[in-house]
Copies of this chain bind each other. A is one copy, B any other.
Amino acid sequence: MTAPVLRFTPAEFAARLAKTRAAMEARGCELLIVTDPSNMNWLTGYDGWSFYVHQCVIVPPHGDPIWFGRGQDANGARLTAWIREANILGYPDDHVQNPDKHPMDYLSGILRDRGWGGLRIGVEMDNYYFTAAAFVSLTRNLPNARIMDATALVNWQRAVKSDTEIAYMRQAATIVERMHARIFDAVEVGMRKSDLVAEIYDAGIRGGNGPAGDYPAIVPLLPSGRDASAPHLTWDDRPLKAGEGTFFEIAGCYRRYHCPLSRTIFLGKPTRAFLDAEAATLEGMEAGLAAARPGNTCEDIALAFFGVLARHGIRKDNRTGYGIGVSYPPDWGERTMSLRIGDRTVLEPGMTFHFMTGLWLEDMGLEITEAILITDTGVECLASVPRKLLIKD
């Protein structure tokens, strides 16, 4: 095998591992089993659509990380991760989706063989890719271990982005700008929604003279009219109608780094309800962005935004943003900080968020959002897309 193609320097990977080990030590965790694909990628570079079977990266007490996965995916680890051959461990294929043979049974044997069966072992208890069955298998097969919850331990180390990560997110921002420009160019009354989705993918993936796009962790969400009261409906082939608003919740993605950004387009003359929601949102965003600076907290951004909405008679009872960065389906959020009341995480330069100011009301939805970077002195919007209700007649 040739050397893997790495997207970060060895020094950056080493720093990530050191940060992770420090966090493990602070929590009394001696060995970490990392199942979140975005954490696996961040620690090792591993990149592949293999997370539909059990796999993980192990951070042992000493030495380099270990990749553990399906045998046929070991070549993927060799091609994408900075893991030496001896640390790439594949399990036999009869352990794939077989109720009688669980991959975590197999992993337990490896951990015991290496003398790690009695350690304090951290697992990501509330991650999509760490199932209840995986937990039961480890608990049963490692009776001397102390299994402890390390949900989001690695995710938190990712919160402050490096220069290279920010450069990748700026590329993703370029992509999402291109996607929104294409939407506005292409959208028209009578167009099938599926055809518009094809335009969005085309703009998101083709490079043209700019960066080619990777697949975002969520597909385009673009409900119209009353359907937009439901934030997570996907598309169908019904034609777009005059007199309706459609929001476009999309992200550009570059080397697995995301820049989400939503806009809403009204076909025809917007209703008073849309104009009122737009006014409240834009004023609230200004207030939220003004509160987005180092030393303030996540909650401060939410309070500023919600305060303006309340003055406009709108109550928003869901969170108004979350950390973003490297990710895999089903979520482009980082699953750490949320911009909501009660989250007193202190903002630091290099943190990145989707300031998710969407309003899903009784019979309409409006999304005008920004992807933001906390700077040394305040905040910067990563992408530049006209921040308003877009209108096309």
Which A residues form the contact surface with B (CB < 8 A)? 1-2, 47-52, 71-73, 75-76, 78-80, 92-94, 96-99, 102, 123, 125-136, 149, 151-152, 192, 194-195, 197-198, 201-202, 205-207, 211-215, 218-219, 221, 226-227, 229-237, 317-319, 322, 329-331, 333, 335, 338, 340, 342, 360
Contact = CB atoms under 8 A, between A and B. Distances in A.
A132 B128 contact: no
5 contacts: A72-B231, A75-B229, A102-B126, A132-B132, A194-B206
Contacts of A52: 128, 218, 330-331, 333
A221 B47 CA distance: 12
Contacts of A333: 52, 97
Contact of A194 (B127, B198, B205): B205
Nearest to A104: B126
A258 to B, nearest CB: 13
Nearest 3 A/B pairs, CB to CB:
A132-B135, A194-B212, A126-B133
A132 B35 CA distance: 12
Contacts of A149: 133
Given A96-B338, A99-B126, 16 more contacts: A48-B233, A48-B234, A49-B233, A52-B331, A52-B333, A71-B318, A72-B231, A72-B360, A75-B230, A78-B230, A96-B319, A123-B132, A128-B131, A194-B207, A207-B237, A212-B237
B133 A151 contact: yes
A58 to B, nearest CB: 17
Nearest to A197: B205
B73 A230 contact: yes
A313 to B, nearest CB: 19
